[in-house]
Structure 1
């Protein structure tokens, strides 16, 4: 290994790989030629590997402009054959907003991105300590905003798939921790949600177990005792009770249900509602988690607590791929427990990406994965924030004739099988008309993976398992966060406000600027209102047509649910479950039954296309997000003009506040649109509830007929008003959002204008932060890919004690 590679690893904060590269004789020329397959063999641990791959990729792209060392013409740069995303090739330009710019890893100067973030965080902690302890609104504002800089958001990936599809093995392989989630012969529970995320500070493996409430369990127990028909739900309840209380469950009365003796191993269920497990290794934690996440055991009398568990959050130490990403192993929907069902809906609606996992041999024909997609598409699409669906075919290394991958014929057969699976799955997806209302073909991707071969590292060709491509998906989601740039940009705004507030000069110019900004604000708000009003009219027209269609088709739609084909007398048990659960029931072996969604289908069909255009999940487009993106007080342009030189600091703060406000409004729109979309079905459910409550009371002979007649009669009496009520509910929620957006924009930006241009009263008590601002400015410009003139250079301060090594590579 030559000095070039050693220096490059040091600059990338990857000095621990020096010996590895030396052992494998990686020199300057071979560094350029490394492919994904080589990197995977060279660096087995996923954390350092992902960092190395990312830094090398960006370094290759920028080698001719950012680092004179690499322009040596004697080195032949080997082109990469990897099909990874080339977003990193796009240079940042000054027209982009700070929140949307992607930070670079190979920062100009002596800092890495991680070093910049660490340094600026230290700076802001010092500034916070400098602020006086005064009961002053401006000082309170500064302190709150500095503390709020630390807030983070995680992208959610929902992982669906039936037991045995290989979900646990897939997650273990992708994040590079072989024994984290239990997999294999033990049957996984179908109700517990498992979140997997990183803990970048704690070196141990940790699991946070959240239980359902005591009240929920008592209600479920009482429902079980009142179930006289002993159908499908009854058998499920028997299994749960046997797991929790053992064979003697039949002798337990409702009064003794919550006795402490039954919960000696989990006293937290009766007290705090949470239990935390901490272990040194993934394998130890996995072994401990079995009783909370698995439904069967090799030990006949071993207890299982999953019926009481709502969610398990597993935290993996120092895993860069999970730094801003959370993987959620999601069960199917239709859980009787209300708290679990509520959490399921919330998590599904919050997924930005969905992985649907199934065995490659039945990928296109397997019924369950496609049912999951059909049943959840509206909650993921218009009713959620999902941007991409990944259909993952597992066990791609399987060959019926042989497992000897060294045999060229077997190897070719495996590759052909994988390619054919992709073709078949995409063809099946294109048949799903209801799904394609929410997701275009470009949102849908197919991967073929072998977790076993990846973890064994015996594959001969990277195409045999696309686990590395899924790791790239995680890395791109991490990159999209721009945590460093957002933090530095907002810190720069706060410091600019503080330094600008220290000066009481230029009162006239401040007054004139304020007047101009307020006029600009008024004009921009008019544009916002005008754009959203056009959307309101479009929604009104779509829904009016949907109401008329619903009134005509509702009887037929209802009959398709309560008079299904080949339904005999035994259907009364299924319909009983439907009415007992408010019109929604998921049979153990069958498709989801949702009377409310069926009755609302004409309304949702009428609005789906317009809704997707108005609230797209991809990017900041559409009437709402688009008009907010275009909103501007012109601060950036003003900063370049000489007449605004004396208020440049104040304008810097205002521009930061503007971007912060846009981010907050986008989040409000993203969350509110889910409620707006689901309001149609929610209102139908509310209007149908009286007939469900009445129908579930029927017993004995004629129960099925009486339930059907009750539901039909209720629909006949209410159809002329019910669908109008649903339309009115959606329109009210839309109008409320239309009012809130300009009001919030006006209120927040008006306060920011006043705060930045009229802060004379506190100027003497504020610390001088010119040095800190100069340093943060340099970091900001480095992240943006621009240079700072020598005149703007601030005197660097020394590193805080004990932090030099952590901050500067």
Structure 2
């Protein structure tokens, strides 16, 4: 655990440009300075602080390698390890919604991400990051394993060769699409053995070697052309489209450091293709999203039930099981409008839009005015629909900053002859939103580094002033801090125990209800009354083959989570209070208790305030304590995802034999047999299954929280021993000037 924590002008011709705009809602709440870090100097301060600490480390090499000085060198080296994860922005939207055009406009590119209006988009996950090292455009293609593809091929061929009476059309179409995409039209009639031959993949040897494929280009258009076959399906040219075997594509773009250095954009496909590997990665990426962007064309935004259903169906993976803090709803294609028709349907006149037919620019101004009028009305309608999303409001603190609304015209932003100002396209607002996330990370990083460096310099300054008489006083301080640490650790562990007891009681209630209702609950999912039995047969088979989880173009089915819903439903509210990610943090949360944790009480500060040496030592220990708490709070956010995912995972393990047995059934009447096998397995396993799910979650949680408490204790004891107990620590190095310089930098960062 300790090791993990240590790692861990309208009408004018123009070209796309970056325009600063006013702050949009939904920005990160905890902000220090929101201007460009290059302009405010956050990066400059980090660079200067590093220069100071590099010089200090060099000077320390002139002294003997005593344990305390080795410790100082060690913690200086660790200053550069940025434990903060990037902000992940998940982008949802159906094919043709304008996601690619919007992202291209934000990135300042016309043709980087291929558009779904040309070829059908697939279920491949695409990540976009900044290339901060050079000016190249880079793509990293991650493949599924050859073994996994061979296994999937068997399923695909079975679907294609199955009885027409049992055919599920969407599944059949997807299987046919995958085979023809990769092998061409002849692939449908090829044998399994021929499809599995390595010769079929001679142009992508990385796939056979289980390696990632890297593509580097000087131009965005060149990269777009080369990656198209890995992320799109081209019906006009079957064969040689490798997306069926691609897990994800990561694209790195130059000249985006100011808004993407610490941010990753993830294009999350709204539908799946029952590929188990991609489905698992989809859930993992969703859980990592700090914010979600929902993209929909403006002419259907108010009626886009699909978009809100996608969020609602994934709500627990974003909230309790994730780290989502906000949602942005983005209406695209706002320039796609017929002003005359719009004015007629909206019953508005020229005077309502404050334009005059006598104006020489009447046509242009009328279209722009209609666009802006519709934009405002669209935002009002989307806001109204959002307020009706009771499921979302149950899982999130939907305050004024939770939902952001944007109306975007990517075409107008990149047009050489626009009729709208850049700001009116709202692309700059989206870019500014990303910059806000990026700057927040940069400022936090600067704060962490400078604070840590100040602590180390305080330690060195303390070493410099030690004399024989001071050692007894240092020992007394150590004893005082050790006592405080013991009490603080005990109180924290006691609170962790209270969390476990509270959640265990709630889980126990949920387990009892689950045991009583599990057969009925499962029946709802595997015997849906509104489903065509003929088509559902293949869906049920895919569900069993994928261990109870199936994600297709028609949506998502998760039997494991469905069986666990009563257990999770009982703990949702308490779990959100104990492990929140949204501001404000509950006083009842583990994070809040860690914030309050300290061994450096006011009485200790008062007792030793007249000792310059011990004041320096206390400053060092205070900084070490703060660093440790920051890392632990980040660690908790990651671990709480595994806690919440534990019950469905335990149920999946308990259901394994049932899934395998049901998947093996074929022939006449096989669907009913599969359903009966699943229900019988659930009924016979229900008592132990839900108790095990309860026990596994509590044990995992207790183990993690115990490790956290122990990591706090051992790390702080180590810091105390190296600063207060070891002898022969004098460096004779005066770092007064360096401390003064770093304090000035700290004041600038927090200004």
Aligned to 2:240: 303
- 1:583 correspondence with 2:548: yes
Distance 1:493 1:191, change over 3 A: same
Aligned to 2:32: 102
- Residue 301 of structure 1 and its aligned partner are, at CA, apart by 5.4
Aligned to 1:718: 685
Deviation string 1:722-758 (CA, Å, 9 cap, x unpaired) is 2222222222222223322221211111111111112
Which SS does the other structure have where 1:437 is aligned?
Answer: helix
Aligned to 1:490: 452
- Residue 177 of structure 1 and its aligned partner are, at CA, apart by 3.0
Aligned to 2:537: 572
Residue 502 of structure 2 is aligned with which of 538, 544, 549? 538
- The whole-number CA distance in structure 1 between the counterparts of 2:552 and 2:202 is 34
Contact 1:204-1:281 within 8 A present in 2 as well: yes
Question: What does 1:226-625 align with in structure 2 at a 5 Å threshold?
Answer: 226-227=158-159, 228-229=161-162, 231=168, 232-249=170-187, 254=192, 257=195, 259=197, 261-271=199-209, 273-296=211-234, 298=236, 300=237, 303-319=240-256, 320-332=258-270, 334-401=272-339, 406-442=363-399, 443-456=402-415, 458-460=418-420, 464-481=424-441, 482=443, 483-505=445-467, 506-570=470-534, 571-588=536-553, 590-619=554-583, 620-621=585-586, 622-625=588-591
Distance 1:316 1:584, change over 3 A: same
**Could you tell me the TM-score, scaled by structure 1's length?**
0.80
Which SS does the other structure have where 2:80 is aligned?
Answer: coil
- 1:750 correspondence with 2:717: yes
- The whole-number CA distance in structure 1 between the counterparts of 2:228 and 2:429 is 30
Distance 1:222 1:313, change over 3 A: same
Contact 1:596-1:684 within 8 A present in 2 as well: yes
- Residue 677 of structure 1 and its aligned partner are, at CA, apart by 0.8
Which SS does the other structure have where 2:314 is aligned?
Answer: helix
- The whole-number CA distance in structure 2 between the counterparts of 1:129 and 1:374 is 56
- Residue 350 of structure 1 and its aligned partner are, at CA, apart by 0.9
Deviates more, 1:322-331 or 1:336-345: 336-345
Residue 130 of structure 2 is aligned with which of 198, 210, 230? 198
Distance 1:164 1:756, change over 3 A: same
Deviation string 1:567-592 (CA, Å, 9 cap, x unpaired) is 3430222222222222222343x232
- Residue 406 of structure 1 and its aligned partner are, at CA, apart by 4.7
Residue 223 of structure 1 is aligned with which of 138, 152, 155? 155
- 1:45 correspondence with 2:38: no
Aligned to 1:653: 620
- The whole-number CA distance in structure 2 between the counterparts of 1:127 and 1:297 is 63
- The whole-number CA distance in structure 1 between the counterparts of 2:431 and 2:572 is 33
Residue 630 of structure 1 is aligned with which of 567, 575, 596? 596
Which SS does the other structure have where 1:553 is aligned?
Answer: helix
- Residue 158 of structure 1 and its aligned partner are, at CA, apart by 0.7
Residue 663 of structure 1 is aligned with which of 621, 625, 630? 630
Aligned to 2:745: 779
Distance 1:272 1:141, change over 3 A: farther
Which SS does the other structure have where 1:277 is aligned?
Answer: strand
Deviation string 1:136-178 (CA, Å, 9 cap, x unpaired) is 6545544443333333431110111111111111112223333
Q: Figure out how many residues of one structure are paired with residues of the other and give that number.
A: 702
Distance 1:297 1:489, change over 3 A: farther
- 1:709 correspondence with 2:676: yes
The structure, 1 or 2, with the larger RCO (C-alpha pairs under 8 Å, 6+ apart) is 2
Distance 1:269 1:261, change over 3 A: same
- The whole-number CA distance in structure 2 between the counterparts of 1:257 and 1:614 is 51
Which SS does the other structure have where 1:174 is aligned?
Answer: helix
Distance 1:568 1:172, change over 3 A: closer
Contact 2:15-2:415 within 8 A present in 1 as well: no
Contact 1:156-1:326 within 8 A present in 2 as well: yes
Contact 2:146-2:210 within 8 A present in 1 as well: no
Contact 1:190-1:332 within 8 A present in 2 as well: no
- The whole-number CA distance in structure 1 between the counterparts of 2:508 and 2:739 is 56
- 1:149 correspondence with 2:79: yes
Contact 1:397-1:464 within 8 A present in 2 as well: no
- Residue 658 of structure 1 and its aligned partner are, at CA, apart by 0.9
Which SS does the other structure have where 1:315 is aligned?
Answer: strand
- Residue 655 of structure 1 and its aligned partner are, at CA, apart by 1.5
- The whole-number CA distance in structure 2 between the counterparts of 1:648 and 1:405 is 72
- The whole-number CA distance in structure 2 between the counterparts of 1:637 and 1:169 is 60
- The whole-number CA distance in structure 2 between the counterparts of 1:421 and 1:106 is 31
- Residue 86 of structure 1 and its aligned partner are, at CA, apart by 12
- The whole-number CA distance in structure 2 between the counterparts of 1:365 and 1:104 is 35
Contact 1:396-1:464 within 8 A present in 2 as well: no
Structure 2: 5+ residue runs without aligned partners?
1-8, 343-360
